[in-house]
Structure 1
Amino acid sequence: MTNFVGRMREAIRGDQRVDADALVDRLTAVRRFLDAVDGQVPDAQLVAAHTVVERAGTRLELSREHTVVALAGATGSGKSSLFNALARLDLSPVGVRRPTTGVAHACVWGALDGANRLLDWVGVLPRHRFVRESALDADDETDLHGLVLLDLPDFDSVQRSHRLEVDRLLGLVDLVVWVVDPQKYADRVIHTSYLREFHRHRDVTLVVLNQADRLPPAELPRVLADLRRLLDADGLAGVPLHATVAVDPAGMTALREALERAVAERQAALRRLSGDVDTVVAGLDELVSADAPATGPDEAAGRELTRALAGTAGVPAVADAVRGAYRHRAVGSTGWPLVRAWRKLRPDPLRRLHLPGPAAGADAPQESLVAATSVPDPTVAQRSALGLAIRSVADRSSAGLPAPWPGAVTTAARSRLGDLPDALDRAVANTDLGMDRRPVWWRLVGGLQWLVTLAALAGLLWLAAGYALRALGLPALDYPRVGEVPLPTVLLLGGLLAGLLVAALARPVIGWAAGRARRRAEKRLTAAVATVGEEHVLDPVRAVLARYGRAREALREAARR
């Protein structure tokens, strides 16, 4: 892009009468537009824009000292005679057999060497190039130095190759002189197929009514007025219109002066390119809309997508497993020590899902967690909800955008749909569920349970020792008493009752804490799947909308003159 701009600026720098930078900026804006829509808009709709950008770069790198003027007309209009009359030499064949001109002929005023590269690009064969330079002319032709005059084939030729050649050359020349004759000046073909198509090139268009000598003097003004009316209807109001007579030098004065002015101004090429940009911008305007800015996915669509992704990823099931795991582990840590071993035989809910267990945390190796969880597969309803959410994101994001952008947004929203299952599985597996640490109150309650259990065990052993002594006939132990109850019995029964009471008191606390752990885990999991949604759905959509925004702004700049 930088080299392209630099070459064009260098090519047209120096002529202060032409806003060269503005033209370069417009062409650069068209190129930015093409870069922005690449891959989003069918190539068939961009051919004209690519052609103009490439053609402009080439034309501005070629000779700025020459103005390429084409004489275009229908069979029998006399443009070859006009060509010879301007050159004052018989260069292009003239005859009664039609079509006479089959290939373009060129006449260069001034040195041919400076125009050769330009003629190579235009496509005029070397054997059809002529130099209008003669010592006999003295300074008569000086005012036309720099003119490259082309005599084109007939655009209404019966030979299709001639018509194609005319269309090609009309896209390359700087200025077009349309030659009509009194018999066919109102012909539908020239007006509908050519002149109307040049309405954005009024600054580089001239029309001449050739063979004006065939009209009675009183009829000439009427025919010129009628031709002017037709030109106005074609969108060419203000285009110079001259009457010419190729066989009379006096009848060539107005046209010759118009060509001298065009050559002297050295602006025809820039004006032609400006008209080309106008035409391209008008054709591309339907691809972007000034009334439809790209706003991006709204918050409601994002929330809907996150809910659907959470359902597909099994977030509710994992959150329920977190609550169950919290209960399982809390009861195992705060329950009666004598039955803890029995509880450990029951499976941990998180382990059943292949999610981080009590010993695994945020620092656990994650490489083995790709698609390794056992979260239940999404149901048909959940898959359908996800599809609807993605469609909603695309529809809301592209609302009001002109074709083909809604389709491009929908394609972008679904572009990474195949990667979503693995991405969601990794997101769930890598989320810190907050289950890697044991709360302090678990340790306190667990310690209390061990204390009362030891008290009950001490009471039991104490009572067992007394029973054994009596069984052996030895003197019975004298137990300390708490009131009327022996201390060992108090310890045994008190320890058992205290353990049950502590467990009963801890149970509602465990339930409340398990619910809190579930909500915390669900929030973290939802945030994780929301990140997946951003990366796999919303970011591709935003990328397309950003392209639309750049294209819209670039086309707006290209439209400024």
Structure 2
Amino acid sequence: MTAVTDHTDHTDRSDRSDRSDHTDRSDRSDHAEGTDRSDRAGQSERAERGAVSGAGDAAPKSGPWDDGLIARRAGDQHGEGARDGAPAAGSGTYDGQLKQRLDALRELVGLSRTRLDGATLAEAGRVLDEASARRRLSARHTVVAIAGATGSGKSTLFNSLAGVPLSETGLRRPTTSAPIACSWTDGAAGLLDRLGIPGRQRRRPLQGQHGDAPLEGLVLVDLPDHDSAAPEHREQVDRVLALVDAVVWVVDPEKYADAMLHERYLRPMAGHAEVMFVVLNQVDRLPGDAAEQVLDDLRRLLDEDGIALGEHGEPGATVLPLSALTGEGVGELREALDQFTAERTAAARRIGADVDAAADRLRPVYAAGRQVGLSEAAREEFADRLADAVGAAAAGQAAERAWSRGANKACGTPWLRLWRWYEAQRALTSPATAPVPPAEEEATARQRVEHAVRAVGEAAATGLPVAWGQAVREAATRGAEGLPEALDALAVNPPQGAGHGGAAQEGTAHGGATRPPRPGWWPVAVLVQASMTILQILGGLWLLAQIIGVVPPNLGVPALMMLAGIVGGPCVEWACRFAAKGPARRYGQDAERRLRDAAAACGRARVLDPVAAELLRYREVREQYVRVAGFSTTGR
């Protein structure tokens, strides 16, 4: 045994030395050619993405996770050719779909970094990093790990597939303390370096066995026991399982239903069924039909774990019975592995399954429970609250009253105007203090604005995932800073057409304010009212002239003139007041509408637009998530 091992080690070292020289020369030439290809591919990809990247193309490339724009361009790094001259991992139609999903995941992470914490995006970042690392390595090789519990016979199976005892077997537990790799084809050094397997743990199989499948491109890794008592062994198992392209789970009749195996490994890896083999070893120990019964029970457990079984040509895990000790069923496993490696799609399938798992973990972060967005009713309610806070209705009523007072003043009798002037002069001379708006009204208006902002933030965040809902609320809160002050400025200096009524209400006109518009009948009414006044004056002068004897006595005509003026003046004033109700109401409504629109525009610019921008960002991110998850955007 020692002699065989020494001979094998010596042969392995010499082979590795020869392969290293050959690989180094080929790597240098292939790398130069691959770099040229990657430069051309990168230029083409950047040209296609120019419209998306925009100004972000000028930003320095410090890594694929800086921000959304840089994340869009991070895919250029994956245009590098394979170092060994082979095509990218999983090339073909499936790789085109996989590349689109990886690009979408990269975009998703870049757009979400400012909204989500690093722990939430850590798994997605790991998948992108590992996909990038695997893509740059050989696609001609398929890395398959053999994993199992203590005493399951995985090392014996490893040796049986290699045709020579490469991994130590025995009764001492644990037997395998470090991963051991066996490569059937040259050029797998980069893959083994990625797995962290040192040169002393790398082997070559016995070649040329008659009737055996060639297993060209296979890289087989014997792992330590996943249930080992040594924590470092379990850590190595978990680390390598996250990097290999496929895994062969070896179970025995005693531990095939072990809860640790199913709960810690098989169930979480249910989405990786297409790159998974489950072999029931040591069937030679089972009498009669016991092997079939145990195999059926194993299939039942795998089905409960959610692992699809590749039966009847369907994609899924391959389940086989065998005996590594006697060789029963090992040939079927070799043929399955040979066909599996010949397809050269294991790496792409593994990466695709990793993307599926990352999408499932991110579903609560991006998948909304309902149609999201800010409804028109919520916008109208927000505008109503702001209009109420700025006093648009009161301003409209004040404008209506001011217009009515202007009409009464212009069309009223001069004697009534004289009386009102006298009352105003007497009010000015009386000791009275100017009214001061109470502080309670200002506080109430501010509370109304804050309540309106909270309400619209909650309405916009309804149905969103927690992180994005919080981002929408924060956008509304940030936009509301300074909104009460802006509304106060609108109330003091309303937009054109709304300020005149408010100013007339207090009896003071703002400098430069235009006069309210007057209807066409207004001059006619003023002329008629002036005529009534002239009749009164002429009638009075005529009577006075008769009293002093200037004109002959004739009481009828001057009395009728005075009576017509006295009665006609109030009638004209009443008719004008009645006719002024419609225009005054329209003027007040126009003043209310202008102030309401100004308040709504202020709230839209400060609150609704930032909220809409955050919702648009979420929709963009969710669209990327839909691409990552492989769903159709139709109807979503």
| Shared fold (TM-score, shorter chain, > 0.5) | yes
Aligned to 1:419: 482
Aligned to 1:267: 345
- Structure 1, gaps ≥5 residues long: 348-352, 354-373, 463-477, 488-493
Distance 2:98 2:447 in 1: 52
TM-aligned CA distance change 1:277 to 1:330, over 3 Å: same
TM-aligned CA distance change 1:418 to 1:194, over 3 Å: same
> What secondary structure does 1:273 align onto?
helix
Q: Map 1:65-214 onto structure 2 (within 5 A).
A: 65-112=140-187, 115-120=188-193, 122-128=194-200, 130=202, 132=204, 137=208, 143-214=214-285
Shift, 1:33, TM fit:
4.7
Could you tell me whether the CA contact under 8 Å between 2:144 and 2:245 is conserved in 1? yes
Aligned to 1:529: 599
Shift, 1:503, TM fit:
7.9
Could you tell me whether the CA contact under 8 Å between 2:88 and 2:139 is conserved in 1? no
Could you tell me whether the CA contact under 8 Å between 1:324 and 1:514 is conserved in 2? yes
Could you tell me whether the CA contact under 8 Å between 2:154 and 2:222 is conserved in 1? yes
Could you tell me whether the CA contact under 8 Å between 1:305 and 1:386 is conserved in 2? no
TM-aligned CA distance change 1:409 to 1:162, over 3 Å: same
Matched, 1:304 2:377: no
Distance 2:146 2:89 in 1: 29
Aligned length in residues: 519
Give the alignment's Cα RMSD to 1 decimal: 5.1
Distance 1:233 1:298 in 2: 44
Q: Give the aligned residue type for 1:161.
A: E
Q: TM-score, normalised by structure 2?
A: 0.65
- Structure 1, residues 112-149: CA drift from partner, whole Å, max 9, x if none? 4xx333333x3314335525278x75999993332222
Distance 1:160 1:479 in 2: 134
Shift, 1:207, TM fit:
1.4
Aligned to 2:295: 224
Shift, 1:266, TM fit:
0.2
Matched, 1:432 2:496: yes
Shift, 1:205, TM fit:
0.3
Could you tell me whether the CA contact under 8 Å between 1:308 and 1:385 is conserved in 2? yes
Shift, 1:64, TM fit:
1.6
TM-aligned CA distance change 1:56 to 1:431, over 3 Å: farther
Task: Identify which of 236, 240, 249 aligns with 2:318.
Answer: 240
Could you tell me whether the CA contact under 8 Å between 1:66 and 1:146 is conserved in 2? yes
Aligned to 2:510: none
- Structure 1, residues 131-182: CA drift from partner, whole Å, max 9, x if none? 5278x75999993332222222221122333323322322221101112233
Aligned to 1:518: 588
Could you tell me whether the CA contact under 8 Å between 1:9 and 1:24 is conserved in 2? no
- Structure 1, residues 419-477: CA drift from partner, whole Å, max 9, x if none? 3213323554462235425646799699979x99xx99x99xx9xxxxxxxxxxxxxxx
Distance 2:331 2:381 in 1: 76
Shift, 1:516, TM fit:
3.5
> What secondary structure does 2:267 align onto?
helix
Distance 1:539 1:307 in 2: 17
TM-aligned CA distance change 1:183 to 1:37, over 3 Å: same
Shift, 1:261, TM fit:
1.4
Task: Identify which of 136, 139, 145 aligns with 1:61.
Answer: 136
Shift, 1:544, TM fit:
4.2
TM-aligned CA distance change 1:303 to 1:496, over 3 Å: same
> What secondary structure does 2:269 align onto?
helix
> What secondary structure does 2:248 align onto?
strand
Q: Give the aligned residue type for 2:259.
A: R
Distance 2:130 2:550 in 1: 114
Shift, 1:545, TM fit:
3.9
TM-aligned CA distance change 1:3 to 1:33, over 3 Å: closer
Could you tell me whether the CA contact under 8 Å between 1:9 and 1:20 is conserved in 2? no
Distance 2:321 2:123 in 1: 34
Distance 2:438 2:102 in 1: 55
Give aligned-pair identity as a percent. Answer: 37
- Structure 2, gaps ≥5 residues long: 1-70, 82-86, 311-316, 429-433, 501-513, 542-548, 559-563
- Structure 1, residues 363-416: CA drift from partner, whole Å, max 9, x if none? xxxxxxxxxxx9987456555555554454455555555656555554444443
Distance 1:325 1:57 in 2: 74
TM-aligned CA distance change 1:9 to 1:338, over 3 Å: same
Shift, 1:233, TM fit:
3.0
Shift, 1:531, TM fit:
1.9
Could you tell me whether the CA contact under 8 Å between 1:317 and 1:375 is conserved in 2? no
Q: TM-score, normalised by structure 1?
A: 0.72
Comparing both chains, which one has the higher relative contact order based on Cα–Cα distances under 8 Å and sequence gaps of 6 or more? Answer: 1
Distance 1:390 1:292 in 2: 22
